[in-house]
Homo-oligomer: A and B are copies of this chain.
Amino acid sequence: MAEVNIALIGYKFMGKAHSNAFRQVRRFFPGKLVPRLKVICGRDRAGLKAAAQQFGWEEIETDWEKVVRRKDIDIVDVSTPGHLHHSMVLAAARAKKHIICEKPLGNTLKEAREMLAAVKRAGVLHMLMFNYRRIPAIAYARKLMRSGKLGKIYHWHGAYLQDWIMDPEFPLVWRLDKKFAGTGALGDIGAHAIDFAQYLNGNITEVIGHSTTFIKRRPVATRQGRLKAKGGPEKGKVTVDDDTNFLARFRNGSVGVFESSRFCGGRRNYNTFQVYGSKGSLAFNLERLNELEIYNSEEPAGEQGFKTVSVTEAVHPYVGNWWPPGHIIGYEHTFVHAVKDFLDCLDKGRMPRPNFEDGIQNQAVLDAVERSAASRRWTEVTV
């Protein structure tokens, strides 16, 4: 058993989720390398201190440049807003740290490419936190699709819909500001929908999209955060999309239809897809993440139908380490699984997946969608 020292940059929503993953991973997935929650990094000392204590970090630090250079740090985990990923990752790579980075990789494809180049040059391990790949139902779907259970794929529909900013009085938090977030619904949640698609169905080659901002001006934020955001009397311009949809073609010949929106009332966290192939179909909904709907067109006539499989069995990926069948797991477990895989890779000297190459592949689609929305033309995805 050996400890690996972690530095985490960012201590809010993602910081909390990642902290939990590092703390929990060896409680349920015993293994040689044990993460040590060494130092957590952020700008606000008071908030940071509280977070460190609550989440179980040994030290705090407000200067991220210092942190990434610390000799005793093995892994740097970048969980900040997107506009900071680029410089942090470049610095961490320069310091030869292994890197975990929240999605999206950068705020632009150019940034993302530079980040990939940096980690390659440094020869470090890198992982992009598309944690939803580690949902047992998704990992199982991957297995089914790779084994050919669905046959030749024809049609993919992915939709990630939320509703948390529908109130016109919801303030202009950083996620609604292009400078910090890059894009809105597209990069925040659409990126997950794209990752599902490319993870399970292979690369997207061309797209055409349209983006809309329904509420164009909002109160300037006086407090950030999803549940605690507050706005003042002044209004500012929303510079990202509220809603972006696109059509796609996949390399394998199948067609794709994608929706991402923060204006779909009643959809709190509705990350769903349906995929249809010559032999079968699958359907998934993040709000019921323990379930996978499976259709097998090779069953006898009259006995066919979508089957709701509770992906909580010992034979399913990851989940046997938790609880007995039917005892469901939640959102946070996906991060634990991701960290588990990262540590396994570190132990064996293998590159984790999804890594920055997958990040580029994702970002290239985001980039093409954005360009297509501007040009109103079909646009090739270029990595």
Chain A residues with CB under 8 Å of chain B are 13, 17, 19-20, 23-24, 26-28, 30, 54-56, 140, 154-155, 157, 159, 161-164, 166, 208-210, 212, 214, 226-227, 242-243, 245-247, 249, 253, 255, 257, 259, 261, 263-270, 274, 276-281, 286-290, 294-295, 297, 301-316, 320, 322-333, 376-378
Closest-by-CB residue of B relative to A327 is B331
Q: How far is the CA of A24 from the CA of B19 in the complex (A)?
A: 12
**A264 & B243 in contact (Cβ 8 Å cutoff):** no
The answer for the CA separation of A154 and B326 in the assembled complex, in Å, is 21
> Is the Cβ of B243 less than 8 Å from the Cβ of A326?
no
Copies of the polypeptide in the assembly: 4
22 A-B residue pairs with Cβ-Cβ distance under 8 Å, sorted by A, are: A13-B324, A27-B56, A154-B214, A161-B276, A209-B247, A245-B255, A257-B257, A263-B276, A265-B276, A265-B278, A265-B297, A266-B276, A267-B276, A288-B288, A301-B313, A304-B307, A307-B307, A323-B330, A323-B332, A327-B330, A328-B330, A329-B330
Q: A210-B255, A245-B257, A308-B305 are in contact. Are A27 and B13 (CB under 8 A)?
A: no
**Once the chains are docked, how many angstroms separate the CA of A48 from the CA of B331?**
30
Q: Are A328 and B287 in contact (CB under 8 A)?
A: yes
- List chain B residues, Cβ under 8 A from A278: 166, 265
On whether the beta carbons of B301 and A163 are closer than 8 Å, the reply is no
Contact: B264 with A281, CB < 8 Å? yes
Which listed residue (B266, B281, B332, B376) contacts A322, Cβ 8 A? B332
Q: What 5 pairs between A and B have smallest CB-CB spacing?
A: A268-B326, A269-B326, A266-B295, A330-B330, A305-B309
Residues of B within 8 Å of A281, CB to CB, are 264-267
Cross-interface CB contact of A377 among B163, B308, B376, cutoff 8 Å: B376
Residues of B within 8 A of A277 (CB): 265
Across the interface, which residues of B come within 8 angstroms of A56, CB to CB? 27
The complex places the Cα of A276 from the Cα of B56 at a distance, in Å, of 42
Measured CB to CB, the closest approach of chain B to A1, in angstroms, equals 9
